[in-house]
Amino acid sequence: MKPGKCCLCSLLCILLLAACQPRSNRFAPGAHKTADCDTSLMRRYRLLKEQATDAGQLAEASKRFYLQAPPPCRSAMANILIEDLFNLAYGNQQTEELVLPFFRELSRAPALRPIQRNKALLAIAAYFIYARRETDSASRILVAIRIANPKMNDTTARSYHSLMGQLMVQTGDLKAAADHYTKTIALCEKLRDSISLAANYANYGTVFSSMGEYQKSIAMKEKAVVFFLAKKQYPNLLIGYTGIGVEYGYLHRYDSAQYYYDKALALIASGVRNPNAEFDLYISIAGINLAANQFDTARFYYNKIVEIIDLSRDTERQRVYVMASTPAYAAIRNVDREVALIKTYIPRFYSEKNFANARDAYYTLYHTFYVQGKSAEALANYEVYDSLKGLQAREENKQYVAELETKYETQKKELKIQVQQKEINRSTTLNGLLLALLLAGGMGAAFAVTRVKLKRKKKEATQQQQFTRQLLHNTEEERSRIARDLHDGISQELMLLKQEVPPGQAGAREKIDAIISEIRMISRDLHPVMLDQLGLKPSVEHVCHQMMERNLLFTTADINYTNSLSKNHELQLFRMIQEALNNVVKYARAQAAKVTITESAAYVFTEIIDNGTGFDVASVLNSGNAFGLLSLTERSKSMRGKTEISSSPAGTLIKIEIPRSDV
């Protein structure tokens, strides 16, 4: 395997099982004393988990506890039991021989409702996808669920599409994967489940990674990681850190990769465990060290993989491990068995037309023979590797040419449509002109009066815009002055005061530090210095980042902007985005929001959308208490633009259109 490259992307195992059953409907209809079932059984179940000494004992005890519970109470505890046992098996694969058959029993249990039986089946499919990488087995289960449930409810559909997305990634159908993840994300937004939304957003990043768009994947996974950290979702955080590190490894930015690997290692040291994430983590760290000829360190991490995963039970990971680790061990022992195994992989890669893996196999053989000092064998394998590298490039070029041809055909069709549209417009214009000539005589006087009125209204509107612009300018000037006074005046005085506090009074010094930090935050909010120094795009992305950290609102930004507004207009647009997001936090009860900025030849378009509860736009605007919303419309008018606000129980959409300053 080529140094620094791991064949497996770091997969983010989403919180799909908890999503399969709404908490408000946990108990089966007609169950006897369901509240008693919930209270007493769950108390005893928690005690059982605390007393278990190892994973195998906990799995056996949990199954026995469920089977000994009164039948009417089993439905009440099935949901949490499936979630716990899935997480147990995912983190401790030696328990799968008990857990998976038990899930199959639950999928056929008459005491459970259909949605709970589906949940057990989805758990099996998830295990095959994430833990075993057995795509055929997972596919059969998901197809069966789809056939048996043509009209899934939203929570089951969310889990189904998420698993299908990952299944398509593993089988290489990236277009289908993107389609499934798009559906999953829409369902997460509809259900207002911010944690699942963040997890699937990161999973969507894996699609970009598989296409070689590593930077886009990093951006998506970093947003999810910020949210997981704020929510203290440490198992997902471990997978997220590892995934970002792998992406940086693909970009050969090993310092950045190691930064995230160190964060993942710190989580493991604190007790957060996940063998699947650890496999990707350790094999990636080992690969970096192997590329740097740090054989001892590389072998240290390869050995850790053997300690946590039984590779004889996982042929896919075994293949990855053998191809990655063989050169590291070639320096200290005989690796003939591994070399023979790698040679058996190559015909399979050719039959599957997987030239990338075949290329990596020959690179591993070259590297192994080179370490052993076998120059002739090393050279022979390097020559094949080099030829396959060229072939891979040609395959990529063919794919790129096909994409260009598709784009060309699309552009030709669009051009034809535009020509036809111009012909229609010209015909319409001629007809309109004839009609206008017929009516001109009778409407001349009315036109003159109307023109005077329009001219007067346009002048009034221009004066209003100038007044608003000046008012906003004066307001920003005052904000800037207050921000400077806070930062340069009060902050400096507090710093001097802190120096006068005796060293023994640590509490007072910490309190002063907290006040200084709060003043600096207020100062930045009053006047966005980052906007002056870095521009609109980084400033908006920073605001979205703050929303996730401060308010736990999963906020993303998709910005395609080339500095086509003046600095003053950028400031006004930034204020509008700030105001819109603050309204989401205060009133919308939303789980997620997104800011999109795009450009056309003449305009800059901005959209702020959330999945909150919505409101009656007309009623609020006419209430006299909608200063924030009115400020959006007034700011856009001052820039000769416009703002449209639409809202429903599914969420709110704010559209802002501003003319480009460079047109």
Q: What is the pLDDT of residues 206-224, one digit of tens each?
A: 888 877 788 889 988 998 9
Instruction: Give how many domains the chain has, as a whole number.
Output: 3
Kindly give the pairing relationship between strand 554-559 and strand 592-599.
parallel
| Final residue belonging to a domain, choices 351, 373, 395 | 373
pLDDT bucket at 121, cuts 50 / 70 / 90: very high
Cα distances (angstroms) measured from residue 54 to each of 44, 82, 496: 18, 18, 56
What proportion of the chain, given as a percentage, has pLDDT over 90? Answer: 28
Structure tokens at 294: 């740090």
pLDDT bucket at 57, cuts 50 / 70 / 90: confident
Residue 47 or 485, more confident: 47
Asked whether residue 71 is domain-assigned, the answer is no
Q: Which segment, 332-341, 403-412, 450-459, 580-589, is predicted with the most confidence on average?
A: 332-341
pLDDT computed for residue 480 by the predictor: 59
For the domain that residue 557 is a member of, what is the CATH number?
Answer: 3.30.565.10
Residue 109, pLDDT > 70, answer: yes
Predicted confidence (pLDDT) per residue in 585-631, tens digit: 988 888 889 999 999 989 999 999 998 889 998 888 888 777 788 88
What residues form DSSP beta bridges with 648? 651
CA distance 525 to 542: 12
pLDDT computed for residue 483 by the predictor: 54
Residues 502 and 565 in one domain: no
CA distance 456 to 453: 5
CA 609, 614, 617, 623 torsion-angle sign: negative
Residues 214 and 339 in one domain: yes
Residue 553, pLDDT > 90, answer: no
Residue 468, pLDDT > 70, answer: no
Closest CA to 577 of 600, 561, 596, 601: 596
Residues 308 and 342 in one domain: yes
Phi, psi of 397 (to 5 degrees): -65, -40
pLDDT computed for residue 389 by the predictor: 64
Residue 203, pLDDT > 50, answer: yes
Residue 391, pLDDT > 70, answer: no
CA 321, 324, 326, 331 torsion-angle sign: negative
What's the mean pLDDT in 320-324?
93
Asked whether residue 78 is domain-assigned, the answer is no
pLDDT computed for residue 49 by the predictor: 79
For residue 273, how far is the Cα from the chain centroid? Answer: 22
pLDDT computed for residue 144 by the predictor: 92
Q: Is the distance from CB of 195 to CB of 13 less than 8 angstroms?
A: no
Asked whether residue 362 is domain-assigned, the answer is yes
Residues 176 and 282 in one domain: yes
| Final residue belonging to a domain, choices 482, 497, 522 | 522
Cα distances (angstroms) measured from residue 528 to each of 110, 332, 468, 575: 61, 58, 21, 9
CA 173, 174, 175, 181 torsion-angle sign: positive
Q: Which residues contact 36 (CB under 8 A, 6 or more apart)?
A: none
pLDDT bucket at 527, cuts 50 / 70 / 90: low
pLDDT computed for residue 484 by the predictor: 60
pLDDT computed for residue 439 by the predictor: 44
Residues 585 and 451 in one domain: no
H-only helix segments in 485-584 = 491-500, 506-526, 529-534, 536-551, 567-583
Residue 450, pLDDT > 50, answer: no
Asked whether residue 83 is domain-assigned, the answer is no
Residues 467 and 542 in one domain: no
Domain containing 321: what range? Answer: 18-28+113-373
Residues 543 and 641 in one domain: yes
Closest CA to 10 of 281, 321, 286: 281
Residue 443 or 76, more confident: 76
CA angle (152, 89, 281) in 5-degree steps = 105
Residue 172 or 237, more confident: 237
CA distance 255 to 249: 9
CA angle (42, 43, 46) in 5-degree steps = 80
Residues 568 and 458 in one domain: no
pLDDT computed for residue 13 by the predictor: 44
Average pLDDT over the chain, rounded to an integer: 78
Residues 358 and 411 in one domain: no
Residues 387 and 503 in one domain: yes
| Final residue belonging to a domain, choices 345, 373, 401 | 373
Residues 151 and 220 in one domain: yes
Residue 8, pLDDT > 80, answer: no
Closest CA to 653 of 161, 189, 220: 189
The residue behind tokens 């111009």 is 422
Structure tokens at 138: 């997972």
For the domain that residue 245 is a member of, what is the CATH number?
Answer: 1.25.40.10
